[in-house]
A and B are shown apart, each in its own frame.
Chain A
Amino acid sequence: MTNVIETSALTKSYGPHRGIVDVDLEVHEGEIFGFLGPNGAGKTTMIRVLLDLIRPTSGSARVFGIDSKADPVAIRRRTGYLPGEFNLYDRLTGAETIEYFANLRGGVDRIYQTQLAERLDLDTSRRFREYSKGNKQKVGLIVALQHRPDLLILDEPTSGLDPLVQQTFNQLMFEAQGEGRTIFLSSHIIGEVERVCGRAAIIRDGELVRIDSVAGLRDLAAHEVELRFPGPVPTAEFEAIEGVSNVVAEGHTLRMLVTGAIAPVVRAAAAHDLSDFVSREPSLEEVFLAEYGHEATNGRS
């Protein structure tokens, strides 16, 4: 599997302030990779190093096999980038802005450019300064997408977009993936990552704390299982199963959290005459909050 992005012990410090610390990351060709973390965790720093907007303090970053410091122009030629915060030229219209960035790339497919504006429902005749936050974001998205880049690096891409446009955005992401392109999507909106990404990494205080498939990450968190019995509940039996915690009996109902494989609980439940069996899969948000909650608890103890 070809790696489009590859970092090794990548570190960036801002004097005494932390940026990112010893980040080892691989993003494979053709995948939509989520990069999750709260504000200030180091997501934008990571992206800016990849694009050579800032230089690493130590370690290395390679994009398309090219060292980010060695030939950043070659990297950016094949990349589409949407910054988390950006500003463009107030006096230019949306169309002129898009054209300017197309010109910087030596020209783009005009039909695709027009289609993007139509699909994102952007009136390109208005001046940039007159746009709402969402419309400015649409201009940024078109600038990033219009040249059909091999790699899309998107920092908080749906910020300010309404739900309908977010849906269009998701479709665009899947289409890009279908064409074999790679997407690196940085966000603190977990639902967004969960909807479109195959794999994701969680960054905390500049360090990567988890990398896995979205499904794998979900498995890290506990399933909520609820069993309803016609008679007395066998609490002790379930408490003895490995991975089961927080067992609470209320009347004929037994609730518990199951971490890891759920099969032992299913087998134990099958031995009883059950009225109902409910298992709820954890969301990525719960994984994320568990990760941060766990660390916070440790920090306090």
Chain B
Amino acid sequence: MAGPEVATPTLGRTPAIDLIRPTLGARIGGLGTIFGKGLRDARRTILIIGVLLAVLIVVTASQIALAYNTAAERITLAAQMSALPEIFQGMLGKPIAIDTLGGFMSWRMFGFLPVMVGIWSVVTLSGTLAGELARGSLDAIAAGPISRRRLALEKVGSHLAALGIVVLVLAGATYGSIVAFGNLPGDQIGPGAVLAQHVWVFAASLAPGAVAFAVAPILGRGTALGVGSVVLFGSFVVNGYADSVPAFDQVRGLSYFGLTSAHRPMAGAWDWASIGVLGVFIVVALGVGVVLFERRDLVVPSGGKQRMPPLRLGVAGPFTRAYFERVPAAIAWGLGLALYGLILATSADEFVAQLSKIPQVLDMITRLFPDADILSVGGFLQLAFFGEAVILVALAAAAFVGGWASDEGDRRLEMVLGAPVSRVGWALKSGLGVFAAIATLILFADLGVMIGAAIQGESGLKVAIGVSVLGAYGMAIAGVGLAVGGLVRPSIAAPVTVGLGLGFYLLELLGSILHLPDAIVELSLNRHLGRPILGDFDIVGLVICAVLACGGLALAAIGMQRRDLGR
């Protein structure tokens, strides 16, 4: 006998409905998944970085092929470059097979390519979770039916995909350039070598970002950004000057640039083992970041900072607010520069002593710098410190300008202008606060190099005055950023500032190698800073800096007065 029919409980269940599932296209490159959204958000950056660097690669390859179009010229070039002491070779590493197109490109261009792309990785991976957490948008995502681990993995995955796309574009541009312009024996190399070179570019660009990602759940976005930047620039500088600075040589093994320096497939040198080690390091760092994010509360990290005693500084008005808001970052950037300068300055005597033992090098230096005492602490700092510190000051200036612009972008300015403060007054005073932050940064850097110079028995004051020119440079490019932010919109102020700094740096770096016309190379402000640590000031350059800084500030004020706010 059949029992009573048992009804299926339906209480609390919603009736079946036809769900419209996200399409595959939406999942990969649209709004279907966190990964797709991340990739979608990065598409403009992919386009800008990919196109700019690809153009740079093609132009460099074509210019090298045109300028050195015989085997004899290539051999001469390689001999000249190899004869330069390491300090003059800059941050490019050992010249390997630079008489070939691939070898020269891997030495001259690919040395700093991961630095530029690495900045993107650090900025993105330090903020992909921590930044969104601070903005409050992560709560909404984490409240969805998705595990924290998957959320973090998709976020990281979107950056890996974006970075991969950029690196593939660069690999295509490199291979195309070599096929098109490689007209001498040894120039033609296979796609495998190009790809292998770009595997290094990918890994070296990702490594500092992975470190930033690992520490961001504990330290927060700002500190993670700083840690990633230190890893990036520290590794680059340590590797670049390890042969010249004994202190750097001691820690060269910690630099991922040093670790992988023997992997130059485009120059015929392969070292997959080092790439493997770097790869494992990256995977571990990213894994640590994912696990920490998974385990910790979804709260904005305090960065482990001790609360400072209350100081009623920075609340007197727009100038002090803009200035003191940026003081912690200015001190951090300044201490970094100071440490860099201190290490270089204290290593100067050893460098000079070694250099003095090589008469032909001494002869060459005298011809290159006839009016300068290059065999001095100042001379060494001018070469090794000033030239590279310029790019760090540019990045710091961009960070300060970005903070200034965020007052409007984050809608603080609306509240401030609810008070009887004029737009012009706010722009001028807060802009001066940015300049004061740059001055603070330079003050700390000055202290570092002054102490280093004093230890070497040199005039610390003279060196410090020379280093201060970096402040004028920083204010100049910050002035341009302020002007653009005031005249057009705040969101582009920092990108313009950092773009200008990188542009000036690259123009000076590549201009002479590529035999670009003087009229173009002279457009780089870096060419007009003189050799101030040696007492050689470029007055015209300083006036240009002053005009850019003051004019930029004035234009920012005019722009703020004229346009609608809150765009």
Contact = CB atoms under 8 A, between A and B. Distances in A.
Interface of A: 48, 51, 53-55, 72-74, 76-77, 79-83, 85-89, 91-93, 96-97, 99-101, 103-105, 129, 140, 143-144
Contact of A76 (B316, B318, B420, B564): B420
A45 to B, nearest CB: 10
A100 B418 contact: no
B421 interface: yes
B419 A87 contact: no
Contacts of A80: 418
A48 B566 contact: yes
A101 B422 contact: no
A139 B344 CA distance: 49
A86 B414 CA distance: 8
B226 to A, nearest CB: 16
Given A83-B411, A103-B317, A55 B564 contact: yes
Q: Most B CB atoms within 10 A — which of A74, A83, A87?
A: A87
8 A-B pairs with least C-beta separation:
A81-B418, A77-B420, A100-B315, A104-B419, A54-B564, A87-B410, A76-B420, A53-B565
A181 to B, nearest CB: 16
11 contacts: A53-B564, A54-B564, A82-B418, A86-B412, A96-B315, A100-B321, A101-B415, A103-B317, A105-B419, A129-B300, A143-B415
Interface residues of B, number: 26
Nearest to B417: A53
Interface of B: 134, 300, 310, 312, 314-318, 321, 325, 410-412, 414-422, 564-566
Given A53-B564, A93-B310, A99-B315, A105 B411 contact: no
Contacts of B314: 92, 96, 100
Contacts of B565: 48, 53-54
A173 to B, nearest CB: 18
Contacts of A79: 418
Contacts, number: 82
B297 to A, nearest CB: 14
Given A48-B414, A53-B564, A87-B412, 9 more contacts: A48-B566, A53-B417, A81-B415, A87-B410, A93-B310, A100-B316, A103-B317, A104-B317, A104-B416
A86 B312 contact: no
A147 to B, nearest CB: 9
Contact of B411 (A55, A85, A97): A85
A34 to B, nearest CB: 20
Contact of A103 (B310, B315, B411): B315
B394 to A, nearest CB: 25
Nearest to A106: B420
Nearest to A153: B418
B417 A103 contact: no
A104 B566 contact: no
Contacts of B318: 104
A108 B566 CA distance: 27
Contacts of B417: 51, 53, 76
Contacts of B134: 129
Given A54-B564, A86-B414, A86-B415, A103 B316 contact: yes
Nearest to B413: A53
B564 to A, nearest CB: 4
A83 B415 contact: yes
A89 B325 contact: yes
Contacts of B418: 51, 76, 79-83, 143-144
B422 A72 contact: yes
Given A48-B566, A88-B412, A143-B415, A104 B312 contact: no
A140 B418 CA distance: 11
B315 A92 contact: yes
Given A83-B411, A87-B411, A96-B315, A101 B566 contact: no
Contacts of B321: 89, 100
B312 A88 contact: no
B554 to A, nearest CB: 19
Nearest to A147: B419
B359 to A, nearest CB: 57
Contacts of B414: 48, 53, 83, 86
Contact of A53 (B315, B317, B410, B566): B566
Nearest to A87: B410
A88 B419 contact: no
A82 B325 CA distance: 23
A78 to B, nearest CB: 8
B566 A54 contact: yes
A35 to B, nearest CB: 17
Nearest to B315: A100
B326 to A, nearest CB: 11
Contacts of A100: 314-316, 321
Contacts of A51: 417-418
Nearest to A54: B564
B130 to A, nearest CB: 13
A81 B312 CA distance: 24
Contacts of A91: 325
Contacts of A99: 312, 315
A85 to B, nearest CB: 6
Contacts of A53: 414, 417, 564-566
Nearest to B419: A104
Contacts of B300: 129
A73 B410 contact: no
B304 to A, nearest CB: 15
Contacts of A105: 419-420
Contacts of B421: 73, 76, 104
Nearest to B418: A81
Contacts of B422: 72-73
A105 B418 CA distance: 10
Nearest to A101: B419
